[in-house]
Structure 1
Amino acid sequence: MPTSDVWDVATAERYDEVNADRFAPEVLHPAVAFLARLAGPGPALEFAVGTGRVAIPLAARGVPVTGIELSEPMLTRLRGKVDAETLPVVVGDMATTTVPGWFSLVYLVWNSIANLCTQDEQVTCFRNAARHLGPGGRFVVELWVPPLRRLPPGQLAVPFDVGDGHVGVDTYDLVGQHTVSHHYRRDADGTVTYRAGNFRYIWPSECDLMARLAGLDLEERFADWDRTPFTSDSEGHVSVWRKPPGRTIPT
């Protein structure tokens, strides 16, 4: 069993609502356009497809998309939007689950690779992506850069969102590169709910090493889907690794 948190029915039912900002056109459209350009005619494979936030509009652009998703409640929500013929999904973890065929693009969005809470699983995930790629295919990851510069000596918590309806705080284990995201939400009736998510943060250079172990080469890296240049001050990155034609996957 993977170390990823498995999102339950209650979380899945509220996912689109509480993350409505991620569905906003100014957030979603650049991501879909970026992926569509790389996929070409496809096909594409999304690890941790969730409720289809990215996969559904990408498929609507004519790219055949398949998904892998660990949470069956999340898949149920996706099935309320599109059928299995439009967007086939295999239930399983993104580190080891395989689907038939070759893909021109494999991608992971919005920090999803960090759901794998061990380095070994993250390395295996890169290898799983490479395994699915045809010659010249690309693996794309959207991931945050750990904001450890915000931590003064002795402090292990960083607030990342403070609003009327939501307060979010990340706590850090700097030895294990483990993060817990604590979410406190106030519903319309005044009820406050708490949910925590477990992650392992990865530095960009560590991602590049994982890619090399999987036989992939870094092709380009940006600060966001709009292709803003990546710098030492960037808070996130969108990275593209390519599988060179003829290269076999290291074992």
Structure 2
Amino acid sequence: MATDRKFGDPALFGEVWADDYDDRTSLDPTPAVDFLAPLAKGGSALELAVGTGRVALPLAARGIRVEGVEGSAKMAARLREKPGGEDVPVTVGDMADVPVTGPFTLVYLVYNTLFNLLEAERQQDCFRNVARVLDDEGAFVVETYVPDPSFFDRGQRVQALSVTEDSATIEVYRFDLAAQRFHSQKITFGADGVRLRPHAERYCWPAELDVMAARAGLRLDRRVADWSGRPFGPDSTGHVSVYRPER
């Protein structure tokens, strides 16, 4: 699939993935929804980078009023096609701007999506603008991986993801360690040609996110290793962090 989108364009991910995102993403949303639903406290929730509604729709099915912000009009269209999709309002725009008014009792970002903002300043803007729309008793929930320095070895990486009789898929990474950023291409060679799926992230360690939160007037309320609530520790590969307004 060809695209004229550039790295850093909020619509790039959706432009590349929207057509078959749900087919290729088999993550069970139930643990995330179980974790998030009590935090909404019967109020309204906002999902940044709502995508095709993998989490937003089952959360709304529990009686919570959910809105979304999505950088890709194609992704938002996929959400609206699903049962209940018309009941989840979606604003197409840059999630760092949080282009909605609120207030919300819950704002959340799942599946490493905060890292899709490629500049530290834009990640900070996201925290600051979430604080603007968050209720005084509200919660901002962020799910990301914990960066693994061994993955960045020598500033590049090539992985063979799949090999079949008529296709092969590899993923190629280039890392900018000073900027904490990578650019990647998932490349599929098949009988019908070559397909490219570009992606980029600026990754952060949990402590860096805590500093961004503090600058935005938010404090870390709790951090767990995953949606099941397992304790977070030095060997955790991911985290779910809950931030609340300073009092």
- TM interval, shorter chain, is 0.7 to 0.9
The Cα offsets for residues 151-205 of structure 1, whole Å up to 9 and x where unpaired, read as 44x353264x734475444432101111123323466x67552212011011100
* Segment of structure 1 superposing worse, 34-43 or 92-101: 92-101
CA–CA distance in structure 2, aligned partners of residues 208 and 88 of structure 1 = 30
**1:169 to 1:146, Cα distance in 2 relative to 1, 3 A:** farther
Q: Are residue 162 (structure 1) and residue 161 (structure 2) matched? A: yes
Report the AA paired with residue 53 of structure 1: R
How far apart, CA to CA, are the structure 2 residues paired with 1:110 and 1:138? Answer: 17
CA deviation digits over 1:92-121, x for unaligned, max 9? 111113213310000000011111100000
Matched, 1:34 2:35: yes
| Counterparts in 2 of 1:71 and 1:35: CA distance versus 1, 3 Å | same
CA deviations on 1:46-95 (whole Å, 9 max, x unpaired) are: 11101111000000011110000111011111111156651011111111
Q: State the alpha-carbon separation in 2 of the partners of residues 112 and 220 from structure 1.
A: 20
Tell me if the contact between 1:106 and 1:138 (Cα under 8 Å) persists in the aligned partners: yes
Please say if 1:222 is aligned against 2:224: yes
Report the alpha carbon displacement of residue 40 of structure 1 after superposing the two structures with TM: 1.8
The corresponding residue for 2:145 is: 144
Would you say 1:175 and 2:178 are equivalent positions?
yes
* Pairing 1:108–2:102 present: no
Name the aligned partner's letter for residue 74 of structure 1. Answer: M
Secondary structure in 1 matching 2:233:
coil
Distance between the aligned counterparts of 1:95 and 1:2, measured in 2? Answer: 15
User: Which residue of structure 1 aligns with residue 93 of structure 2?
Assistant: 92
- The RMSD of aligned alpha carbons is 2.3
Give per-residue Cα distances to partners, 1:5-34, cap 9 Å, x unaligned. Answer: 423555211111122x22x3xxx1100110
Judged with a 3 Å threshold, the aligned counterparts in structure 2 of structure 1 residues 208 and 167 are, in CA distance, closer, same or farther, namely: same
Query: Residues of 2 paired with 1:224 and 1:80: CA distance?
Result: 30
Change (3 A) 1:194 1:66: same
Matched, 1:243 2:245: yes
| TM-score, length-scaled by structure 1 | 0.86
Amino acid at match of 2:117: L
- How far 1:37 sits from its partner (Å)? 1.5
Provide the C-alpha distance between the structure 1 equivalents of 2:15 and 2:113, rounded to a whole number of angstroms. Answer: 19
**Residues 170, 143 of structure 1: CA spacing in aligned structure 2 closer, same or farther, 3 A cutoff?**
farther
Tell me the SS of whatever aligns to 1:114. Answer: helix
Partner deviation per Cα, 1:183-238 (whole Å, 9 max, x = no partner): 23466x67552212011011100000000001001011111111111112111111
CA contact (8 A) 2:16 2:198 kept: no
Paired residue secondary structure (1:32): helix
Using a 3 Å threshold, how does the CA distance of structure 1 residues 115 and 236 change in structure 2: closer, same or farther? same
Q: Residues 140 and 147 from structure 1, CA distance in 2 versus in 1: closer, same or farther, beyond 3 angstroms?
A: same
Distance of aligned partners of 1:105 and 1:172 in 2 relative to their CA distance in 1, 3 Å threshold: same
- Aligned mate of 1:16, from 15, 22, 45: 22
Unpaired runs of 5+ in structure 2? 1-5
Percent identity, aligned pairs only, is 45
Map of 2:3 onto structure 1: none
2:205 maps to 1:195: no
